[in-house]
Chains A and B, each alone.
Chain A
Amino acid sequence: MSGRDDELIDLIAEEALIDRAKLDPAAKLEDIGLDSVDLVSVVFAIEEKYGIEVAEDAFDRSDTLGTVLSKIDALIDAKGA
């Protein structure tokens, strides 16, 4: 996992008030306890921090955290390119 992923996980833990230890990249968002309201707050915080725009339907609660991280990584990389 990259340093940026660590940073993203910190941010998710902070925004969704979820214990960081629960944020296993292999776990699905719904199993982590990340509900749809948490998800919009998390997306907002990520957009703020990295200056990216995430599409409203970019994630599903059945996605794993790892999938979400790689999609966000791709968006941040695309912006930097």
Chain B
Amino acid sequence: MADRLVVTGLGAVSALGLTAEDNWTAARDGRGGVAVHDFDTGPHGTGVRSYPAAMVKGDAVAALEAALGRRIAGSLDPFAIFALKAAHEALGQAGLLGERLGDRAACVMGNGIGGLQTLEKGYERLFGMKAAKVHPLTIPRVMVSAPVSAIAIEFGITGPVFATSSACASAAHAIAQGAALITAGLADIAVVGGSEAMASPGGMRSWEGLQAMSETACRPFSAGRDGMVIGEGGAALVIERESHAAARGATPLAYYVGAGLTSDAFHWTQPSLEGATSAMRRACEAGGLMDGGEVLISAHGTGTPLNDKNEAAAIRGLFGADRHPVIATKSAHGHVIGASPAVQTVIALQALKAGLAPPILGYLEPDEECAGIDLVLGEARPIKATSLLVNAFAFGGLNASLAFRL
């Protein structure tokens, strides 16, 4: 039998906390991270606007500096800080800190847009302040591969290292790709996940322009839902060959058992039932999740009218009515864009381990359009599931579903 792929470390940073465990306990206890924040476009902009957003709480830079034992300060954009912090935590849990990981290790992390905050500051100088120069390190801080380079440099990863980008599915593609590198024999171990920090004044205005943001809260699958709430953060998993983990005595947390990757080839912002369904079906078939046992489904669940209607129909259509418990943790940590699939996976794997599904927040009342799926509402609910399906359906029609088992 081929070596299975085992998850041996988890890390997360979001509005729910600076560790994987803090993210899990906040989600479990229904303590959401969404609050109204001011976003100031500065002296050259049109002023301050306030939006609900899920901003990282606490000092991620200080936490990272304490973890690494040296200063980081402004040398990295926040999206790289979040990735590095989450990777450090995941490698710590996996028992892999303090050594260079070498050329049999890979790192694949996803993000949707790169170091937007650094870019915005640079452009404010250039276009607003009419400055002649931007910061000389603008490019290495902004580039979409900055987080994986930061992680590779920090932990001595000299095998395959690159970033994936597929909007809100970026981290799901990263996890699938990292696992595929191991399956293909190109690595024995991979640090995978994603990060995003686009809750900036320009980023928020851009989302506002798309009319995709809620004015109040993220209310997945609820009547009266009016859009997403933008979040920021990052999450990482350590995935390795089971024999590799066993040889070094690492504790398996769960098994990665497959992915379903599809494209709608249809529309920029409208989802497709076929695309979402086929991604879920492929992941479930790859991982043996269609065999009748209960599956915890971590829905894409953005709280937008269109996604939730489409995703509910896809889940209902694939599994039958009210078959599996459905959670939607973006209601707690916000939509962390490209990092969302990783943050959701880190929370949901802990839910699976605890046998407890975290509640969907912000829910008002049932919506006929989202009927026939078993939403976890009110408070955390005991579950029997030993397998997990994580959905990510991105703008531009890029779908990725991931399957895990205990």
The residues of A with any CB-CB pair to B shorter than 8 Å are 14, 17, 37, 40-41, 43-44, 47
- The minimal Cβ–Cβ distance linking B352 to chain A, given in whole angstroms, is 40
Give the residues in chain A near B133, CB-CB below 8 Å: 44, 47
- The minimal Cβ–Cβ distance linking A7 to chain B, given in whole angstroms, is 18
Given contacts A40-B136, A43-B136, A44-B133, 4 further A-B contacts (CB under 8 A): A17-B71, A37-B136, A44-B135, A44-B136
Q: In the complex, what distance in Å separates the CA atom of A76 from the CA atom of B282?
A: 65
Main secondary structure of the interface of A (DSSP, over half): helix
Q: Report yes or no: A14 in contact with B136, Cβ–Cβ below 8 A.
A: no
Q: In the complex, what distance in Å separates the CA atom of A17 from the CA atom of B70?
A: 9
Q: Does B72 contact A (CB under 8 A)?
A: yes
Q: Report yes or no: A17 in contact with B72, Cβ–Cβ below 8 A.
A: yes
The contact sample of 6 A-B pairs, CB cut-off 8 A, is A17-B71, A17-B72, A17-B75, A41-B136, A44-B133, A47-B133
Give the residues in chain B near A44, CB-CB below 8 Å: 133, 135-136
Q: Does B354 contact A (CB under 8 A)?
A: no
Contact-residue size bin, chain B (C-beta under 8 Å from the other chain): under 10
The residues of B with any CB-CB pair to A shorter than 8 Å are 70-73, 75, 133, 135-137
Give the residues in chain A near B75, CB-CB below 8 Å: 17
Give the residues in chain A near B72, CB-CB below 8 Å: 17
Name the residue in B70, B72, B75 with the highest tally of chain A Cβ atoms < 10 Å from its Cβ. Answer: B75
Q: In the complex, what distance in Å separates the CA atom of A17 from the CA atom of B65?
A: 12
- The minimal Cβ–Cβ distance linking A72 to chain B, given in whole angstroms, is 17
Q: In the complex, what distance in Å separates the CA atom of A43 from the CA atom of B137?
A: 12
Give the residues in chain A near B70, CB-CB below 8 Å: 17
Q: Report yes or no: B73 in contact with A17, Cβ–Cβ below 8 A.
A: yes
- The minimal Cβ–Cβ distance linking A29 to chain B, given in whole angstroms, is 16
Q: Report yes or no: A14 in contact with B135, Cβ–Cβ below 8 A.
A: no
Give the residues in chain B near A37, CB-CB below 8 Å: 136-137
Give the residues in chain B near A17, CB-CB below 8 Å: 70-73, 75
Give the residues in chain B near A47, CB-CB below 8 Å: 133
Of chain B, the residue at the smallest CB distance from A42 is B136
